[in-house]
Structure 1
Amino acid sequence: MFNETMVRVCHDPLVMLFVASTAGPAERALLVIHGGPDWDHSYLREPLSQWGDRCRILLPDLRGCGRSTRDLSKEEYTWDAMVADLVALLDATGTSVTDVLGFSTGGLIAQRLALAAPHRIRRLVIASSSVLPVPADAFAAWQERDNRYAAGADLGPDPTGLSGPDLVRAWARTSAPVDVWRPEALPDHLQRLDAVRFSGDWADLWQAGVLPSARPENALQRLAALGIPILLLHGRYDMTFPAQLAVQTAAQIPVARAVILDEAGHMAHIDQPDQWLTALADFLH
């Protein structure tokens, strides 16, 4: 279903992106930006593989992630460089205009891409992410969230003392019960985590306190001014980005809509794959 290639997106330094793509019609493209950022794209292949003949799907591993170029010098790890890579990827694949889906941290990068190259984007999906900042007390007194973090300690090694890919994998596994809402979806999520090629390039900078937030400044006002239609696709029980922020954003951007999926958490595409795809189809028709 997916073709796998390496695409050069930067010459100095040399940066190659690993890209999984479908052979759908190029005039209907969907660029999918994974989260983490120290994950790869693979956990998002399903249920998107069902759209192989509907549109051309581009699923890159971002710089420093997965099978793309890693171990760059620290100054090469910036959000602007990541956005420039994605624009270069569109150029290299002959994609003049695309729909964009950004998941989790990828949703913040997608906003940056829209602000940098609005003429390249037809519609924007911000999935399990947010436009508005997450309040410091967003999850205060949510006992269920605390219980799930405690339960996750049994699913992976203690992150204390780990670094690099080992640390990121430990974070992912110990937060697994927080990321999916339905207990019966947890085995699927853990299986996907086993296949992810985690890196630590971005986490190293974050731990050193030198990685700024990926969130664009004044994103709400700037995105509203662009007029690009936006779907805020969210699980009701997302314990990373509160679902209420999607509702608040949609109320303030005339061309935005929020779809909140019941019985779904942060990994809403795993909790409710059919509903997730239906919401995408209704928006990207």
Structure 2
Amino acid sequence: MIPAPFDYIAPTTVDEAVAALHEAGEDAKVVAGGQSLMPVLRLRMAAPSVLVDLGRIPELRGIRDDGDALVIGATTTHHDVLHDPLVAEHARLLAEATATVADPQIRHRGTFGGSLVHADPAGDLAAPAVALGASFTVAGPSGRRTLGTDEFFQDYFTTALEPDELLVEVRVPKHTGWAARYEKFHRAAQQWSIVGVAATLEVTGGTVAQARVALTNMAAVPVRARSVEESLVGRPATAETIREAAEHAAEGTSPMTDGNADAEYRSHLARVLTRRAVTTAAGVGSA
């Protein structure tokens, strides 16, 4: 199908983009990589009167070291995140998860910020952002504000962004030296996760010093598996410890039932994938 007619604006600064969104109101859409938006436009599931293209704003691209954190521009591509040495060193979990996103063609066009703003509960990058304690810098007519993951992700395909705001960058605290693993279950290669688990651990002298685990597609928004974390911290990184901790993975979640899986099966997957992710990250043998 062919999209409905729309006006096209390609600003070169964040301020210009915000002004265009503010003027258009709720009848505008933002496009970065376009990998989620273009199919929706073609099917006329959305018919904005204005399309604001962020691809010509240099400020929104790139990854930089900012002391205790990495700062990732919203329109940085998945490919650049995956292959960036700073991400590999300080936020390995992001690289692990990004490697599972679709295929190389999509990763060359799709953007880190676009995936997060899309807020698909089956998307693979929100749970790692939650596990790593990321924060989001948002620009709007009144200036800039910073949101934590608990504020940013609100519901299915819904974030805290107002219609005239845009995501500028994501700040990811460094987890240098932490082990990490992203495990997902999907029905076919390159498809969205039925369930995913993002796990990152600091293991010292064979003991789990710190652990952060978050789940994909186990609720309307990504959720921390806090009971798993509490069961791991301070205990030996052994297969038995991990197996016991993983049994708590589905606690506090609200998985959906749909054509891919029912809630009970998703809960089972959360436990299995958590065991696999933590076991692989900790390097303690077969998962």
* TM-score by shorter chain over 0.5: no
The structure richer in helix per residue is 1
> Which band: TM-score by shorter chain?
under 0.3
Structure of higher RCO (CA pairs closer than 8 Å, 6+ residues apart): 1
Output the TM-score relative to the length of structure 1. 0.25
Which of 1 and 2 has greater Rg?
A: 2
Output the TM-score relative to the length of structure 2. 0.25
The structure richer in strand per residue is 2
